[in-house]
Amino acid sequence: MTDPTPRRAPAGAAVLREDVTEAIRAAVFEELAAVGYARMSIEGIARRAGVGKTAVYRRWKSKLSLVLDLVGAFAAQGLPAPASGSLYGDVRALLEVASHALRHPVASQVIPDLLVEAARHPEIAETVKAVLLDGQQGVMTQIVREAVARGELPEGTDPGKALDLAVGPLYWRLVVVRTPLPKGYLDELARSAVAALRA
């Protein structure tokens, strides 16, 4: 095995190892954007990162685990805790974060790729789902719980349905339809989601 980090400088080596990890992460995003998940190879990633294949395999056991790791870190970041004091405010805050995330290249390119893999390989579907959805489902469960406590939603409101109604239209619009959002559209969607939830 060849290792790009020099053996004789422990402190420097630690820094370099982190640099290599970061270079690989950056290379993965570039490869995904350029060729897509299906055509992407560990070899191509290593070449782009300027490291050996071994350096990649030492860190991640497969292409899939590498991508899931990156997407998981991306999906978890920036999700708001419900703090506005109203159902409308909490849903609006979630839509704000989701709309930024869904316009990021990770979402617009990599997530559809992962869903394609999930559709074809049921064994990875659960992992993909967990990575993509657990954070959002957790936040929506909290939003619903607090709205029920305030009397804004009936007892027993299903957080899964709430997520469908709040995030579904935005996902459809940004990932499937792909036309620009008119000004004020997130406000309208949040208002609509609240009305839909109370229907």
Residues in CB range of 103: below 8 A, 6 or more apart: 174
CB 64 within 8 A of CB 55: no
- Smaller CB distance to its own copies: residue 20 or 193? 193
Binders of its own copies among 108-127, rule CB under 8 A?
108-109, 112-113, 115-116, 118-120, 125
Residue number with CB closer to its own copies (55 or 71): 71
Q: Which is nearer to its own copies, 80 or 112 (CB)?
A: 112
Residues in the chain: 199
Q: Which of 84, 129, 142, 148 binds its own copies (CB under 8 A)?
A: 129
Q: CA of 48: how far to CAs of 32, 51, 77, 137, in Å?
A: 12, 8, 26, 35
Find tokens 């400088």 and name the residue.
9
CB 84 within 8 A of CB 90: yes
Q: How many residues bind its own copies (CB under 8 A)?
A: 49
Which of 160-165's residues contact partners 24+ apart within 8 Å by CB, and which partners? Answer: 161/197, 162/193, 162/197, 163/136, 163/137, 165/193, 165/196, 165/197
Looking at residue 156, the DSSP 8-state letter turns out to be T
The reply on whether position 86 binds its own copies by CB under 8 A is no
Report the C-alpha gap between 136 and 166 in whole angstroms.
11
Instruction: Answer yes or no whether residue 189 interacts with its own copies by CB under 8 A.
Output: yes
Per CB under 8 A, 163 contacts its own copies: yes
C-alpha 57/C-alpha 60 separation (Å) is: 5
- Which range in 7-15, 20-28, 146-154, 165-173 contacts its own copies by CB under 8 A? 165-173
Residue 4, CA atoms < 13 Å, CB-side half-sphere: 20
Q: Which stretch binds its own copies (CB under 8 A): 44-52, 89-97, 140-148, 168-176?
A: 168-176
Residue (20 or 166) nearer to its own copies, CB: 166
Contacting range for its own copies; rule: CB under 8 A; set: 36-44, 50-58, 60-68, 148-156: 36-44
Which stretches of the chain bind its own copies, using CB under 8 A? Answer: 33, 36-39, 108-109, 112-113, 115-116, 118-120, 125, 129, 132-133, 158, 160-161, 163-165, 167-173, 175-179, 182, 185, 188-189, 191-199
